[in-house]
Structure 1
Amino acid sequence: MCVETADWRGMCWCAVLLLIMGVSESGEPPWPCPQCCECSPENLMVNCSSNNLTSVPDNINAKTHHLNLANNLLKTLRHRQFSTLSQLQELDLSENILSTIEVEAFHGLQNLLTLRLSQNRLKILPVGAFSGLPSLHLLDISENEILIFLDYTFREMTSLRKLEASENDLLFISKRAFSGLLNLRELSLDRSNLTSVPSEALSQLTGLSCLRLCLAELTILPNNSFRRLGRLRELTVSNCPLLGSLATNSLIGLNLTSLTLTYCNLSSVPYVPLQHLVYLCYLDLSYNPIISIHPNLLGDLLRLQEFHLVGGSLLRVEPGAFHGLVYIRLLNMSSNQLVTLEETAFHSVGTLEVLRLDNNPLICDCRLLWVWRHHLHLDFDKKPPICNLPVHVQGRMIQDFTQVQLPGLFTCRQARILNRKPQEVRTDEGHTVQFFCQVDGDPTPSIIWLSPHRTLLSTTGRIRVLSNGTLEVRYSQVQDSGYYHCFASNAAGNDSISVSLQVRGFPASSPRNRSIHFFMEGWSFTSTQSPVNDSQGLRPFPFDMKTLIIAVTMGFLSFLSSVAVCFVFMFFWSQSKGQIKHTATIDFVPHSAGAGPARGGSGTDNNRLTMKLL
């Protein structure tokens, strides 16, 4: 027994000795670690993730800096749930089933820098839920079911730098929801149900530098959408299929360096809304149904270095499209419908470093010869342009051709006008005249017509250019007289012709009060009124028989309708007067020269007449 007692005492003394040694080495007692958690005293970290916890564990060391409670079954955060963890710097509550956060749930976490609440079931954030977090820099509430941001939801988070609120069911953001976030730099509102830009709420974020609005239900960016965001540098609006246009002043007040407008429904480059963004360096308009880039409309973007338009419907980049972009170094036009990209589109190709033209039906002719000449210093990002036509070079990469092969390749045939015969037309006013301009060349030349006043003629109007290049002058007037010029041009050269039109007016001495005969399907009418335009003679009656019959019928029906309305009015008026008497009694005195005064009362009865009213 004594031996056993001595052994037991020895073991106790060993345990005490080891405990004393532990204290002496670390200077403090060892950490208590909650059950089912992993603790790292060296990193001041407690990891309780993926343990199916339904409540926050007790006995978490007050000196913990990093607490991970992700991927559990937490439903509610109670009032001052973490008040004992004043040293906590990072708290991860993501991937739980949180639906309720009580007011001041995080009160006491004065040193908390990062709070993650993503992938929960939060529908509303009560005002005051985030009070007591003066040092917080990052708040992640993404992938929840939040419907609305109420006024002053985040007002006590004065140090917040980044707010991640993507993938919620946001329908509305109150005007003062972001009040107090004076130091917020990044805000993400991706995948929301917002149908308009919350301009009033965003105007509270005067320090914001990066904003993302992706996968929203936006239909238009109205004027002054981002007012008071003078420090905003990066704006991303993406995956908004209902967004078809930008208002003229939608981006006014911004000094952006990066703008992304992708996966929207923009049918053209928003030239006017962009023109004041003189500090813009990065522009991405990819995955929009943009057909062409017009010349000389991007020149105000003086500092633009990267331009992306990938996966669109781009058919043509006009010559001069990038004039003024003296610093452009990256151009990405891959996966479009481009057949060529001419060197004349650029201000200078000398600054270009990266060029992407892959996945386009390129025609390798003289228009793309510049790409071969610069291919040694151009970076194609491992996806070089490939020829689609002509057939004998189909499928070959432009950079693979040699100097010896070039004379028979990358060739063009100069534009040439085929009908060189003089076209001189003399006609009277009112006639329609056509001038022809048939062209030949490879690539197909473009055709323009200039008026006698050297103005460009369009495809609409009384004087117009038809789709086949023919000039049509309809209802010619004296002022249309003069020489018209047709210009045909392609990458190999130009050609031009001039045609003459002389239009005769009617003599000024013709009688102004002459009769004008109108003819209508065999009927002849004569008018003695002088015509408005004295330069014309006989004119056909402006209406045919069918039109006249319809007009008369409509007039007759209008007359009958008016009569019917009058009768109805009289009927109701008469009913309003009450019962109508159908008889009337009239007393009268016979007027005779020899008659004496009436005798008795019998004379009065004989001088009364009763009438029946019909």
Structure 2
Amino acid sequence: MALRAALLSSLLLLCAVRRFGLCCPSRCLCFRTTVRCMHLNLETVPAVSPQTTIDLRFNKIKDLQPGSFRRLKNLNTLLNNNHIRRIPRGAFEDLENLKYYLHFNNIESLEPESFTHLPKLERFLHNNRITQLVPGTFSHLQAMKRRLDSNSLNCDCELLWLADLLKQYAESGNAQAAATCDYPSRLQGRSVATLTAEELNCVPRITSEPHDVDVTSGNTVYFTCRAEGNPKPQIIWLRNNALNMRDDSRLNLLEDGTLMIQNTRETDQGVYQCMAKNVAGEVKTSEVTLRYFGAP
């Protein structure tokens, strides 16, 4: 009789969440709607009931599949201290109550779509191997507090958007949000929030400027303009504050930024200016003049 009671008790414990659609995963501990699967060397995410709160910390999960946590709306703590390398799109859909996330993993890169519809996500990615973050990665994380430190962030011009975001957090009173540089060596340990476009040589810098030109009818004119910056700046030419090169086949922008005007006419005369522009800013040269003298 006692043996029968023990077996019945074990069965009830294993299937505590059967009424929600699934039994307790093997070796996990289940109580009502809580499933604890810590320290089990799991390599995949087990299937559980949609009403379940599952704890998967301290395992060996490496890969996630889209929809791995679909409908787990009660989940608030997820996958810290695993071996996760990447996050596919849709891996965390429906986790509207998720707060604590993916710290102490092996994540190297992220996609912006990984973090949509996670309004309560606060602290999540410290102690990983992230080197780069694309603009917009955290644009949906209204509750983000911390943190991105202890990664391998390469602090270059591509990370300026994160510096601006962290400054906004600090100004709004959220000083906990933090990220530090790992590369290059001169910036190692530096707070990303303190980076400027100037010290990273991101803002365009003019290296060769155009000069005034005198021209007669039918000749070819070259206005030189070269610039450096990261990312490489776009060269834009202005004439009397506007220049539409698409409507005139005589106007050509050469690969090095030089403006070439073929078969010059009287209508070409005026004031010209070169502008170099990228995401970090823009800079203009001094104005120069094309003077037209008609026939030779």
The bucket for the TM-score relative to the shorter chain is: 0.5 to 0.7
Distance 1:372 1:290, change over 3 A: same
Following TM superposition, by how much is the alpha carbon of 1:410 offset from its aligned partner in structure 2, in angstroms? 8.5
- The one-letter amino acid of 2:45's match is L
Matched, 1:177 2:9: yes
Matched, 1:225 2:18: no
Matched, 1:361 2:152: yes
Distance 1:299 1:320, change over 3 A: same
Q: Deviations over 1:59-87 (max 9, x none)?
A: xxxxxxxxxxxxxxxxxxxxxxxxxxxxx
Distance 1:307 1:296, change over 3 A: same
Distance 1:202 1:290, change over 3 A: same
Structure 2 residue aligned with 1:238 = 38
Q: Deviations over 1:272-297 (max 9, x none)?
A: 341121x2341320121111112244
SS in structure 2 of the partner of residue 331 of structure 1: coil
Equivalent residues in 2 for 1:264-343, closer than 5 Å? 264-277=59-72, 279-301=73-95, 303-325=96-118, 327-343=119-135
Following TM superposition, by how much is the alpha carbon of 1:324 offset from its aligned partner in structure 2, in angstroms? 2.5
- The one-letter amino acid of 1:264's match is N
Partners of 2:180 and 2:189 within 8 A in 1: yes
Give the share of equivalent positions with the same residue, in percent: 17
Distance 1:224 1:205, change over 3 A: closer
Please report the TM-score for the alignment, with normalisation by the length of structure 2. 0.56
- The one-letter amino acid of 1:245's match is T
- The one-letter amino acid of 1:225's match is C
Partners of 1:375 and 1:399 within 8 A in 2: no
Give the Cα separation in 1 of the matches to 2:190 and 2:94: 37
- The one-letter amino acid of 1:344's match is G
Give the Cα separation in 2 of the matches to 1:345 and 1:233: 32
Structure 2, unpaired ranges of 5+: 205-228, 232-277, 281-296
Give the Cα separation in 2 of the matches to 1:331 and 1:255: 23
- Paired residues, what number? 202
Following TM superposition, by how much is the alpha carbon of 1:360 offset from its aligned partner in structure 2, in angstroms? 0.7
Distance 1:259 1:269, change over 3 A: same
SS in structure 2 of the partner of residue 346 of structure 1: coil
Larger-gyration structure (1/2): 1
Structure 2 residue aligned with 1:389 = 183
Q: Which of 146, 149, 152 matches 2:5?
A: 152
Partners of 1:355 and 1:378 within 8 A in 2: no
Equivalent residues in 2 for 1:60-459, closer than 5 Å? 127=2, 150-153=3-6, 174=7, 176-178=8-10, 201-203=13-15, 224-226=22-24, 232-241=32-41, 243-246=42-45, 250-251=47-48, 253-256=49-52, 258-277=53-72, 279-301=73-95, 303-325=96-118, 327-346=119-138, 348-349=140-141, 351-365=142-156, 366-367=158-159, 368-376=162-170, 377=172, 379=174, 381=176, 384-401=178-195, 405-409=196-200, 411=202
Following TM superposition, by how much is the alpha carbon of 1:313 offset from its aligned partner in structure 2, in angstroms? 0.8
- The one-letter amino acid of 1:310's match is H
Give the Cα separation in 2 of the matches to 1:354 and 1:310: 14
Give the Cα separation in 2 of the matches to 1:412 and 1:297: 37
Structure 1, unpaired ranges of 5+: 1-125, 128-149, 154-173, 179-198, 209-222, 414-440, 444-490, 494-614
Following TM superposition, by how much is the alpha carbon of 1:206 offset from its aligned partner in structure 2, in angstroms? 7.5
Structure 1 residue aligned with 2:287 = none
Give the Cα separation in 2 of the matches to 1:411 and 1:328: 34
Give the Cα separation in 1 of the matches to 2:100 and 2:146: 10
Partners of 2:181 and 2:187 within 8 A in 1: yes
Partners of 1:207 and 1:232 within 8 A in 2: no
Following TM superposition, by how much is the alpha carbon of 1:409 offset from its aligned partner in structure 2, in angstroms? 3.4
Give the Cα separation in 2 of the matches to 1:384 and 1:352: 14
Following TM superposition, by how much is the alpha carbon of 1:342 offset from its aligned partner in structure 2, in angstroms? 3.4
SS in structure 2 of the partner of residue 282 of structure 1: coil
Following TM superposition, by how much is the alpha carbon of 1:320 offset from its aligned partner in structure 2, in angstroms? 1.5
Partners of 1:286 and 1:309 within 8 A in 2: yes
Following TM superposition, by how much is the alpha carbon of 1:336 offset from its aligned partner in structure 2, in angstroms? 0.9
- The one-letter amino acid of 1:272's match is G
Give the Cα separation in 1 of the matches to 2:198 and 2:60: 43
Following TM superposition, by how much is the alpha carbon of 1:372 offset from its aligned partner in structure 2, in angstroms? 3.0
Partners of 1:354 and 1:378 within 8 A in 2: no
- The one-letter amino acid of 1:409's match is L
Following TM superposition, by how much is the alpha carbon of 1:339 offset from its aligned partner in structure 2, in angstroms? 1.2
Q: Deviations over 1:469-522 (max 9, x none)?
A: xxxxxxxxxxxxxxxxxxxxxx969xxxxxxxxxxxxxxxxxxxxxxxxxxxxx
Partners of 1:323 and 1:345 within 8 A in 2: no
Partners of 1:231 and 1:254 within 8 A in 2: no
Partners of 2:16 and 2:24 within 8 A in 1: no
Please report the TM-score for the alignment, with normalisation by the length of structure 1. 0.29
Distance 1:411 1:442, change over 3 A: closer
Following TM superposition, by how much is the alpha carbon of 1:333 offset from its aligned partner in structure 2, in angstroms? 0.8
- The one-letter amino acid of 1:237's match is C
Partners of 1:356 and 1:380 within 8 A in 2: no
- The one-letter amino acid of 2:5's match is Y
SS in structure 1 of the partner of residue 37 of structure 2: strand
Q: Deviations over 1:214-247 (max 9, x none)?
A: xxxxxxxxx93339xx994432211111x22235
Distance 1:342 1:372, change over 3 A: same
Q: Deviations over 1:579-600 (max 9, x none)?
A: xxxxxxxxxxxxxxxxxxxxxx
**Higher strand residue share:** 1
Q: CA RMSD in A?
A: 3.8
Give the Cα separation in 1 of the matches to 2:64 and 2:77: 11
Partners of 1:320 and 1:347 within 8 A in 2: no
Distance 1:205 1:392, change over 3 A: closer
Following TM superposition, by how much is the alpha carbon of 1:412 offset from its aligned partner in structure 2, in angstroms? 9.1
